[in-house]
Every structure is written in structure tokens, then in C-alpha cells.
Amino acid sequence: MLGKLLKYEWKGLRSPLLILLIVLGGTTALTCGVILTINPKYDEAIAWYSIMALVLSIFLYYFGLIGCTLGTMLIIAIRFYKTCYTDQGYLTHTLPVTTTQILNAKIIASIVAYLTMLLAIAATIFIIIEVGMHHIFSVMPGEYDEIRREFSWAFSSMISDFSREFGISMGAYIVYLVFFVVVSLFANIVTVLGCVSLGQLYAKHRIVGAIAAYFVVQFIMQIIGYLCSIPMYTRMVRADYYDTPFGIMSPTMNLTLLTTVVVAVIMYFVNLHMMTKQLNLE
């Protein structure tokens, strides 16, 4: 039954997510197109207009990133609210499944949707960088292949120096960051859904209540984040020759991740409580 719930949830999320992906693809194509128009052989007036167009396209792409990430989270929150706490909730809560299965299906589908957006963003960043590098190398004096080899050699040298200077190999650091991002994503989605559920305590202003709950939770998380950063600042003050940047930052990152997970667990049970004990559909 969980598979059918996931299919139902994904069907409701995929259309608005596709619109956001189209917007992201459009801003990426525009930025790449502007990059390819820049040529240092142009006169100063044309070059100035090209640079301005590049800056504006990068700003447009940046705002597209912000809009797509916030938009994805907004889509997740709105769907959760409509299918659990409005008249659509009558259908949801009369299904022959448990509340836990409903909540788990919504969380899993939301994580898949947000991960899809993050992977799309990573792909567009890679495309823009690759297009920019290719265009720069193609207009630079010298052989394209030789310049590309020199850049690859410099990048390989940077990777080999990363472990010695940062205190962890680049591969291990990437794995650590991926784990950090995935766990944080899971925790943030559960927290957002928990804030939507807390908003139902305000019967006449549920949306306002959800927004207020979100800002209160974020304020608390900011305070906790500041407390978690104390070990990092302490080690920075007392740092000696043997301390590495990763050794200084990792305790704070680990504490931050732990507190985020703890808050998410609390919010998970808040969701279950509101969906069972205090369910009040509009």
C-alpha cells in the first residue's frame, strides 16, 4: 500500500515540479547563450554590453535557483496542507492505511522531489561552468587541447594538495558533504511539515499559524546553531600548527546536524499527533 501512496503523492508533485525545472532550464540556457556571445576581439563598447548582459543573466540564474528551491519546498508544504488538513483530507484520512504510512509516503515523496531539484541545480551549475571554460579556452591564444591539459594538471595538483591542507581527502569530504546534505534535507522537510501541522492549532488562521511556527522554529535553530559554533570558535582561537580546517569545522558541523535531526524527530511525532489526536479538517 505504501507504493500506491507514493505513486499518488508523486503524481501530485510532478506537474508543479516540472514547471520549476523548465524555469531552471530556461535560465540556464539563457546564461550559457550569453556566455557564448562574449568575445574579447570585439571593440570596448560591444565588450562592455556583453559583460553587462552576462552579469544580468547570472543574476537571473541566481534568482531562478532561489525561486526553484523555495518553490519546491512551498509546493511540498501546500500539498501536505491541502491533502491533510482541508476538505481533501477527508479522502486522505479515510484510506485503508495507517496515519504513519500516510506521513511516511508524504515525507519520502517530498524528499525525492527536492532531491530531483537539487540534482537538476547541480547539473545546470556543471553545464554553465563547462560552457564557460570551453568558451574561455577557445578564445584564448594557444592550442585548445594544450590549455585544457594545463588546466587539468592544475586541477589534479589542487586535489592532491587538498588532503594535506584541509585535513581530509577530497573524496572523503565529498562523501561527508553528500551525507550531510541528504540528512539535513530529510530533517528540513520533516520540520517544515511539522510547522504546517502546528499551524492547525490556530483554527481561524492556519496558514498564518504555520508561517509563525516556521519562524519560531528557525529562530530556535539559529540559537542552537550559534551554541554549536562555540567549539569551532574556541578551536580557532586555540589553533596550533597541527589543526586543520576540517578538524576545526567538523565538531560544529556534526553538532548542527545532530540537533537538526533531533528537531526533525520531534516534528515527526508532532505531525503524527496532529494528524491523529487533533485533526480538525476545514
pLDDT at 72: 93
Q: How many CA within 13 A on the CB side of residue 113?
A: 32
Cα–Cα dist 55/57, whole Å: 5
pLDDT at 133: 76
Q: What are phi and psi of 244, to 5 degrees?
A: -115, 160
Q: Phi-psi bin for 142: left (phi > 0), alpha (psi -120 to 50), beta?
A: left
* Domain layout of the chain by residue ranges: 1-97+113-141, 167-282
pLDDT at 22: 93
For every one of its 282 residues, what pLDDT tens digit does the chain have, with 9 covering 90 and above? Answer: 667 788 888 888 889 999 999 999 998 988 888 887 776 555 555 666 767 777 788 888 888 889 899 999 999 999 998 888 887 777 777 778 888 888 888 999 999 999 999 999 999 999 988 888 777 766 665 555 665 666 667 666 666 666 766 767 777 778 888 888 888 889 999 999 999 888 888 767 778 888 888 888 888 888 887 777 776 666 666 655 456 666 667 777 888 888 888 888 999 998 888 888 766 665
Q: Model pTM greater than 0.85?
A: no
**Which residues does 108 contact at the CB level (< 8 Å), separation at least 6?**
6, 9
pLDDT at 208: 86
DSSP 278: S
